[in-house]
Amino acid sequence: MTQQTERFDLYTFIAGAALERGKPFLLECNCGGIVTIMPPFQDEYVVCPRCEARIKMLVIEGDPGYIIGADPDGTPKLLPVQGSSKQHPGKLSPSERDAILAQVKQQFGKKDG
């Protein structure tokens, strides 16, 4: 692991497709503050106007609505990918979300076994 000189308060995932579209899109901070991302996208992070958090942007290729992450205790969860035209994971129905997480748990289980 290399030591990073830059410190960030938050990390968020951005759909690569949003950057390719070259149009402004909104990035929501954990505090509920909204940052408007304007092209050209040259900065690796943005600052929330509300809580002043430095938010590092991690670009995910394509246009996924979410990626699979995990809580510190290993519980899988869906992390929203911002700027995506796909459905926000918070808007999936509970049964859809459960089905995805059940799949993930199976995969994790295989890895452990």
Residues in contact with Zn ion by the rule CB under 5 A:
29, 31, 33, 48, 50-51, 53
b (16+ CB within 10 A) / e for 75-98: ebebbbbbbbeeeebeebeeeebe
Beta-bridged to residue 87, according to DSSP, are: none
State the nearest-atom distance from the C-beta of 33 to Zn ion, in Å: 4
Which amino acid, residue 68?
Answer: I
Nearer to Zn ion, 33 or 64 (CB): 33
Select 7 or 110, whichever has its Cβ closest to Zn ion: 7
CB-nearer residue toward Zn ion: 17 or 57: 57
Beta carbon of residue 54, minimum distance to Zn ion (angstroms, whole number): 10
What is the spatial distance between Cα 23 and Cα 39, in angstroms, rounded to a whole number?
6
| Closest distance of CB 30 from Zn ion, Å | 6
